[in-house]
Amino acid sequence: MIASLVAATPLVAQRGQGGGGNYDPTTEMTLSGTVDQVVEVPGPSGGPGGLHLMVLSDGAMIEVHLGPATYVSSQGFAFAVGDEVTLTGSKVKVGEVDAVIAREVRKGDQALVLRDEQGFPRWAGRGRGPSS
């Protein structure tokens, strides 16, 4: 099923994971919407993949880059088509397309914190970025 979602979303497949170190706090925004697709994008050289959501917000489809799928699941989070989410993240260009690198995603009364306020990933090891 994941392969069919990637195939059905050629822009996601063409761009790969994207995002990551491109987080820019000056472009941070908050939006709400409905999950239209959950896409696990293969990692480089067959490594762990990234998790992206295609979110329908105010009539526009927005690609949201969360982070490693293994990190999201390790935090007890799962996303499904139809989930209502509110997210805060950095609006970036990936190729010619706008995307959002998520810092925090809220679903119901749960919050998944992915990055600190400067965009440093929570899954990265100590000593590899600013301290919290």
Cα–Cα dist 86/34, whole Å? 9
- Specify the CATH architecture of the domain 2-113: Beta Barrel (2.40)
pLDDT of amino acid 43: 81
pTM of the model: 0.78
The answer to whether the beta carbons of residues 2 and 40 sit under 8 Å apart is yes
The answer to whether the beta carbons of residues 75 and 42 sit under 8 Å apart is no
For the chain, give every domain's residue range.
Answer: 2-113
Q: What amino acid is encoded at 88 in this protein?
A: T
Cα–Cα dist 102/80, whole Å? 17
For residue 75, name the pLDDT band (cuts at 50, 70, 90).
very high
For residue 106, name the pLDDT band (cuts at 50, 70, 90).
very high
Q: Does residue 64 register a pLDDT over 60?
A: yes
